[in-house]
Amino acid sequence: MKYAFTSLGLVLAGLVTCWGQDAPYTTEILSQPYTALEEYSLLELELGWDDPEEILPVPFDMILWGDTCTFLSTANVGEMIFGSGNGNHLIAPVFSDICDVSPADSTGQDVSEIRYTTEGVAPDRIFKVEYHNVGFYPEVYNFEDTVIQATQRATYQVWLHETGTIVFHYGPSNITDPELVADEFISSAGLIGNFDYYSYSGTLLVAEGPADSTTFITSDNIYGWIYGGSEGWGLTWPSEGTGYVFNPVAPSGLAEPTTATPLEAFPNPAVDRLTVRLEAHSAQVGTWVDARGGQAGTVQLQPGSNSVDVSGLVPGAYVLRLEDGTAVRVTVQR
């Protein structure tokens, strides 16, 4: 049996689980027909792959947990790592220990694939990754049996929207023994923000409860969630068509104005300068609010079009909020 993040080589003890930490996402469960990728490229993996660490060519930087992430790679136990100069962030459509099914087929015809493609045009591109026909390590590499088999399979996708939204789509599967798939660990899905390999620190946003009607909980004690008795999906697996949506949100506490002042900003994402159009009769003061709710500066806005310098803002997701509560969401990228 393998454990999540075993490559980290950590031994921590005496931690107390702490629920209810803030995560800059709203979550939604959807049900819609699953559509397999039709035109795609393949990661070049050796037959019998397990825990591949391969860079995925995502064609855009992405704001994740308020951080600009520049590269994406596959990683241990079914998750993907989105990394940047400020930290690593984990995207886990499953926490189960997936692998190639080919060792169970002597002909070499039955294989598992990691497929990817990009759809749409900037700034609304979607990078899609499909884990197709994957098996599970406890079954495929069960060295106690004389006959290797891979009766349990799953297919699912991850959609990374350039706008910051993350979607998991679960496709056809034949999971009949979730306990074997979990292998005394936890089957679930979710995100981990600002993950530190050496201390297990970070914020976990994870599915708890039946996979088709789960509740998403947050915790800043990743080790405690893994080893503290949490069940994740329990003995369930998402039905075909189930989807999880993680939408980045503006900081909470934006009051609804009684008389809204029309406000728009472009281009969005912005790099160095931003045009802010204010339809009002008098000047307004705008406050930059970052993804954690902190103030990152102010700007004086005149009626009409304003050229605003955003080169001093740390890349990330912001809200530009006026005194009356009117707000517009802006992403700053480099």
State pLDDT tens for residues 217-272. Answer: 999 888 888 878 788 999 999 999 999 999 887 543 334 444 556 888 988 888 99
Percent of the chain with pLDDT over 90: 42
The whole-number pLDDT of residue 277 equals 92
Query: Structural domain boundaries of the chain?
Result: 6-248, 263-332
CATH class of 263-332: mainly beta
**Do 237 and 28 meet the contact criterion of CB atoms below 8 Å apart?**
no
State pLDDT tens for residues 131-183. Answer: 999 999 988 887 665 566 788 999 999 999 888 889 999 999 999 888 888 87
The whole-number pLDDT of residue 158 equals 97
State pLDDT tens for residues 93-104. Answer: 999 999 999 988
Query: 9: alpha, beta or left, given left = phi > 0 and alpha = psi -120 to 50?
Result: left
Mean predicted confidence (pLDDT) in 30-59: 92
Q: Please give the model's pTM, rounded to 2 decimal places.
A: 0.71
For β-strands 154-161 and 304-309, DSSP reports them as unpaired
Helix (H) or strand (E) holding 179: helix 178-182
The whole-number pLDDT of residue 257 equals 43
* Weakest mean pLDDT among 153-162, 297-306, 308-317: 308-317
State pLDDT tens for residues 272-298. Answer: 999 999 998 889 999 887 655 568 899
Helix (H) or strand (E) holding 128: strand 126-136
Percent of the chain with pLDDT over 70: 86
